[in-house]
Amino acid sequence: MAWDFEAHCPECDHRWEGILIIYRLGDIPRPRDRTMANIGQLFCSYCYRLVCFPQRVARGSWARWRRECCDSESKPWQPILDKIGASLSAAPWYVRKPKVLIDADCPFCRRSMSPVRGDEMCVVCPRCACATVAVAEFNHSNIIELDDA
* pLDDT tens sequence across 99-131: 666 788 999 999 999 888 776 788 999 999 998
pLDDT of residue 20 exceeding 50: yes
pLDDT at 145 over 60: no
Burial of 3 from C-beta contacts in 10 A (0-12 / 13-18 / 19+): buried
pLDDT at 45 over 60: yes
Domain boundaries, the chain: 2-144
Distance CA 141, CA 3 (A): 8
Give the H or E element holding residue 59.
helix 59-68
Give the model confidence (pLDDT) of 53-65 as tens digits: 887 777 788 888 8
Residue 106 CB: number of other CB atoms within 10 A?
Answer: 21
